Every structure is written in C-alpha cells, then in structure tokens.
Amino acid sequence: MAEATEVPKLRWKPLPGEKKVGPYEHWVGSTGLPVYRGHALQDVRTAELSWWAERECNAAFVSLQGQGSLTEGRITEIPPGKTLPPLKFGLDEIVYVVKGRGLTTTWRGDGEAKKTVEWSAHSLMLLPRNYTHQLTNTQGTESARLLHYNAFPMALGAVPDPSAFINNPDSAPGMDANEEREFFATAVAVAGRRDRAVWSGSFFPDLAVWDSLSRRESRGAAGHSVSFHFSGIPFNAHMSVFPKQTYKKTHRHGPGPFRPGALLVLVSGEGFSVMWAHDDDDAEKTIVPWQEGTVFNPPDKWWHGHYNVGLEPARYLAIQPPQVFSEHKSSSIEIQYTEEEAWVRERFESELAERGLTSLMPPEIYTDPDYRWSYRDGSG
Ligand SMILES: [Fe+2]
C-alpha cells in the first residue's frame, strides 16, 4: 500500500507583481492542473487531464462561473488496475462516478472501522471528512473517472492553509459509533415532504436506473425527481428525470440566493439547456448542449430551462453546497408555457427536426394555463 503524501505548507500571498489570487486559487495553481471554467464542460468522460504526481492520477479542476468560487469540482482518472495513495481530507466530499468500476476503502485512525464499497458508472457516494480513503480501479484495461464535489474554496477562504485539510495527522472524525454506522450505509428511503422521494445514506449504487422517483408536476413535462441526503451532512443533491422530446418550464431560483455553487451533471439523455442573466430580458441566451457526462450550471438567479431532444428520458443530477446563508429562503419563479416567448418552442422543435423527431409536448399546454400533465408511465 502506498504511503500518504505530505502536504507542503503553501505561501498564498502574492509576491510583488504577481496576480492577486485567493488561497484556493493559489493552491489550485500550485498543482499545475488544468482548470475548466465558463458555463459548461462538455464531457467529463473525455476531458483533457494532466498528471498529478502527488496523487498518482490524472486530474483537472472544474470551476464554472455558476460555482461562484464557493465549491470545487475535480476530475480524477484512476489508471487501469491502479490503487491511488491513501488520502485524508478534512471536508465532506461527494463523488459521482462518470465511468469505470472500482472500490473505495475508508478508515479512521490507523485502520479502524474499515469499510469498502464497490462502485461503477453512475454511482454516487460520500467520502466523509477526516476519514482516510483509498480509491481502486478494479478494471485492468479501462481507466475510471470520478467527479468530486466539495466546499474546499469556502473552507480555504476562512482557513488559508491547505495542510489543515489534506492529510492532517491531528484531525479525527469525531463522531459516535451510531453516526459512523450510518455514514457508511447504503441509502435508504426516508419520509419526504409532500410525498417527495427522499433517500438518505452515503452510497447510491446506480443513478442511471434509479427508479424511486416522485412526480414533480410544478416544473412541467411530466417530470419526476428524487432527493438524496448524505447522512447528516449539510450537502444535498437531487436528480430530475423528464421524458423524451419534452421540455421543462424555464425558471430561476430566487429572490433569495439559491445556494450558489451547485453543479449539474448529466447522468443520461440528449438535449440542451438555455440560460440567461435574470436582470436583462435582452440578454444573450447561453445554449448548453448536453449528453451523458456534461457538467454545467446556471449562475445564481439566472433563468434556465432544460430541453430533452433525444429518444430516452433525460436524467440530471444537481449537487448543492451547504446552505450557509440560511436566512435566505430559496424559492423559484417559473415561466408558464402559456407565457413563454415564441423562440423557445421554435428552437426546441428545430433541434428535434434535425434528429428526425417531433415534439411530444401536448398542444393544450400552450393555451391552457391549468393544463395537467398525464403521467402515462404510472410511476410516481
Ligand atoms: Fe433550476
């Protein structure tokens, strides 16, 4: 087993003439790894990465505009058959498996409470803070890719010392035995508000076939969703599923800040999202085409709508950071189908036509504001 690497103390204050950056940006820069910025990364499965000697893997950072420098996205590629060095990280981290198959082993202290979980493409898991974890690719011919999500930029903003969080020998999980058992449990269903499907745990085996969903009528398109809670930590995630050849209502989150910093990752499907700045009706529309493996997010308070132009239901996972500004309640404003501008439908139908498909949106939704979708598949 490889030894954990030591983290050098980093100087983050700029020298005269250097660009002034915060402690997180400075740490990212010290790794020399690529950083994906902008509004979207088209495909995490094929994105270019660089070798990270310290972690013995290829990697890159994802720091999109909508993350607001609050959350870290990071891609890890584990070479075929390889086990990465153990790593103890002082923050909770959510990991989505983009491709491949492997194992995560976690323990505390010198090897106590050791647990191993087996993952494959479309698994979602929690790496709990201050446990050591080790990642293994169990396939001998294919690399595995993971998308990590955590609040390291926020934490380093408050405590500008990476060695306080990475392989810190003095940090310990600090939880009782009951909490520990729960931390490593496979997800279980818990009672949700208003019949919402809510699952809690630290391992969700396969989001591509996850079928415990509840109806999400307010957003249109006969969509479904499920919420994922991570065993008592303040992150959460949800997955939306909506049918082929339909689109959801354009909406924005507000007026209070909607947990800026979320990341959306496409589990399956083919389509696009349209988003634009909330305070400018004439703002240029940003179109994000997507398919499995696309990562994107609408910046805080931007309008956004999701369009499925494929032959299968689309599934996207949204991972959200802790709501640290709890006095701001999140609420949504939707543009009803009867109120939307003509270009929305035109764009959707032309994208379908390019694929030899037609819209499955019921015509009544454009004239009847009280139209109720039928859930023909009987689920939810
Ligand atoms: Fe949204």
Q: Give the distance (Å) from ligand 1 centre to CA of residue 258.
A: 9
Single out the residue in 147, 176, 205 at which a domain terminates.
176
Distance of CA 204 to the CA centre of its chain: 14
Q: Give the distance (Å) from ligand 1 centre to CA of residue 199.
A: 20
- Region 59-75: mean pLDDT is 94
pLDDT in tens, 8-18: 555 556 566 66
Is there a single domain that holds both residue 160 and residue 196? no
Would you say residue 13 lies in a domain? no
pLDDT given at position 33? 96
Is there a single domain that holds both residue 159 and residue 282? no
Out of 43-57, 125-139, 238-252, 322-336, pick the least confident: 322-336
Q: 176 vs 224, which has greater pLDDT?
A: 224
Q: Give the distance (Å) from ligand 1 centre to CA of residue 74.
A: 22
pLDDT given at position 192? 62
pLDDT in tens, 307-321: 999 999 999 999 988
Identity of residue 289: P
Q: Give the distance (Å) from ligand 1 centre to CA of residue 285.
A: 16
Q: Give the distance (Å) from ligand 1 centre to CA of residue 349.
A: 22
Is there a single domain that holds both residue 239 and residue 332? yes
8 A C-beta contact, residue 319 and residue 149: yes
Is there a single domain that holds both residue 234 and residue 325? yes
Is there a single domain that holds both residue 151 and residue 207? no
Q: Give the distance (Å) from ligand 1 centre to CA of residue 16.
A: 42
According to DSSP, the β-strands at 251-253 and 236-242 are unpaired
- Region 84-98: mean pLDDT is 97
Would you say residue 219 lies in a domain? yes
Would you say residue 64 lies in a domain? yes
Q: Give the distance (Å) from ligand 1 centre to CA of residue 101.
A: 30
Is there a single domain that holds both residue 31 and residue 169? yes
* Candidate ranges 45-54, 214-223, 300-309; pick with highest mean pLDDT: 45-54
The proportion of the chain whose per-residue pLDDT surpasses 90, expressed as a percent, equals 63
Is there a single domain that holds both residue 36 and residue 167? yes
Out of 126-140, 153-167, 273-287, pick the least confident: 273-287
Single out the residue in 122, 149, 176 at which a domain terminates.
176
Is there a single domain that holds both residue 91 and residue 231? no
pLDDT given at position 333? 85
Out of 40-44, 161-165, 234-238, 313-317, pick the least confident: 234-238
Q: Give the distance (Å) from ligand 1 centre to CA of residue 253.
A: 6
End-to-end CA distance of the chain: 46
Is there a single domain that holds both residue 153 and residue 201? no
pLDDT given at position 122? 98
Q: Above 60 in pLDDT, residue 1?
A: no
Sign for the CA dihedral angle at 97, 301, 38, 7 comes to negative
Would you say residue 377 lies in a domain? no
Q: Give the distance (Å) from ligand 1 centre to CA of residue 376.
A: 24
Q: 174 vs 200, which has greater pLDDT?
A: 200
- Region 265-287: mean pLDDT is 89
- pLDDT bin (cut points 50, 70, 90) of residue 380 is very low
CATH code of the domain in which 96 resides: 2.60.120.10
Phi, psi of 331 (to 5 degrees): -145, 165
How many CB atoms are located within 10 Å of the residue 172 CB? 12
Is there a single domain that holds both residue 339 and residue 216? yes
Q: Label each residue of the chain as H, E or C.
A: CCCCCCCCCCCCCCCCCCCCCCHHHHHHHHHCCCEECCCEECCCCCCCCEEECCCCEEEEEECCHHHCCCCEEEEEEECCCCECCCEEECCCEEEEEEECEEEEEEEECCCEEEEEEEEECCCEEEECCCCEEEEEECCCCCCEEEEEEECHHHHHHHCCCHHHCECCCCCCCCCCHHHHHHHCCECEEECCHHHCCEEECCEECCCCCCCCCEEEHHHCCCEEEEEEECCCCCCEEEEEEECCCCECCCEEECCCCCCCCCEEEEEECEEEEEEECCCCCCCCCEEEEEECCCEECCCCCCEEEEEECCCCCEEEEEEECCCCCCCCCCCEEECCCCCCCHHHHHHHHHHHHHCCCCCCCCHHHHCCCCCCCCCCCCCC
Would you say residue 371 lies in a domain? no
pLDDT given at position 379? 41
Is there a single domain that holds both residue 237 and residue 116? no
Would you say residue 201 lies in a domain? yes
Please list, residue by residue across 76-107, b when 16 or more beta carbons sit within 10 angstroms of its beta carbon and e when fewer do: bbbeeebbbbbbbbbbbbbbbbbbbbbebbbb
Would you say residue 373 lies in a domain? no
Would you say residue 35 lies in a domain? yes
Is there a single domain that holds both residue 213 and residue 352? yes
Q: Give the distance (Å) from ligand 1 centre to CA of residue 315.
A: 14
Number of structural domains found in the chain:
2
Q: Give the distance (Å) from ligand 1 centre to CA of residue 303.
A: 8
Domain enclosing residue 97, as ranges: 23-176
- pLDDT bin (cut points 50, 70, 90) of residue 378 is very low
Single out the residue in 176, 207, 222 at which a domain terminates.
176
